[in-house]
Amino acid sequence: MEEAITEGVQVQAEAFYLEMHSLPEEERYVFAYRIRLKNLSQRTVQLLRRHWIITDSNGEINEVHGEGVVGDQPVLAPDEEYEYTSGSQLKSPVGTMQGSYQMTTTEGVEFEVTIPCFTLAVPGVIN
């Protein structure tokens, strides 16, 4: 599990290969990933937007921008956690995901939180 802490917000990320949904012969590799956010600060924060950079081993880069995560813009009081699971698809058996969340405080101060780079890999491909 990869982890980053920015401005008192901890982000943990881990990925899982979904073999049943993948079709390697059609260059379709499907992964799920779980993100856990924890507010380690003394202020209440809200996740507004996300920005993902998804890179496969062919060098193809996809950027995804959007409001919230999985249809939600969670508010985290001090010491609160929020966890969600989502998915991504690659054209190669190995890739990475990284990015950032745009957050705001209850006072309206926006700041960026780093999503650590984590690997998407079919088991056994990386030794």
Instruction: Supply the CATH number for residue 105's domain.
Output: 2.60.40.1470
Q: Is residue 64, in this structure, part of any structural domain at all?
A: yes
Written as six digits, the tokens of 126 are 């990386």
| Number of helices followed by number of strands (H, E) in the chain | 0, 9
The mean of the pLDDT values for the chain is 96
% of the chain exceeding 90 in pLDDT: 96
* Rounded distance between C-alpha atoms, residue 100 and residue 69, angstroms: 12
* pLDDT of 88 over the 90 cut: yes
Q: Answer whether residue 17 is part of any domain.
A: yes
In the numeric block, the tokens 């507004």 are attached to 48
Domain annotation covers residue 56 = yes
Q: Would residue 126 count as lying in a domain? A: no
Average pLDDT rounded to a whole number, residues 33-54: 98
Residue 67 domain-assigned (yes or no):
yes
**Model confidence at 107: pLDDT above 90:** yes
Residue 39's domain comprises 2-121
Residue 52 forms part of a structural domain: yes
Confirm whether 47 is domain-assigned.
Answer: yes
Task: Please give the tally of structural domains in the chain.
Answer: 1
CA–CA gap between residue 69 and residue 48 (Å, rounded):
8
Residue 64 has φ and ψ, to the nearest 5°, of -125, 125
Please indicate, yes or no, if residue 127 is contained in any of the structural domains: no
Q: How far is CA 102 from CA 62, 64, 90, 99, 127, in A?
A: 19, 13, 25, 10, 35
Whether pLDDT at 127 is above 90: no
